[in-house]
Amino acid sequence: MLTCKELVAHSSDYLDGQMTLRQRLAVRAHLAMCGNCRRFIRQMKLTQAVIRQMPDEELPELDALAERLAQNRRNQG
């Protein structure tokens, strides 16, 4: 059976459908018994969904906002 560390290491392959049947079954067996890894995989799926919805083009205003937020954080610390 997979350990949590092994599942995390192979999670991208699992989510991308890049595993053999035997590997997928091992992941599913682990997920059936490990709530922490089920939460991890759910979070990874949510992250993938959010990233897929992001625009492909660069948005300078978002970069400027990120820089302002980083600057504010540096000034506060």
Domain boundaries, the chain: 4-76
Backbone angles phi and psi of 17, in degrees to 5: 70, 30
pLDDT given at position 54: 80
pLDDT given at position 77: 65
How does pLDDT run along the chain (77 residues), one tens digit per residue? 899 999 999 999 999 999 999 999 999 999 999 999 999 999 999 999 998 888 777 777 888 888 999 999 899 86
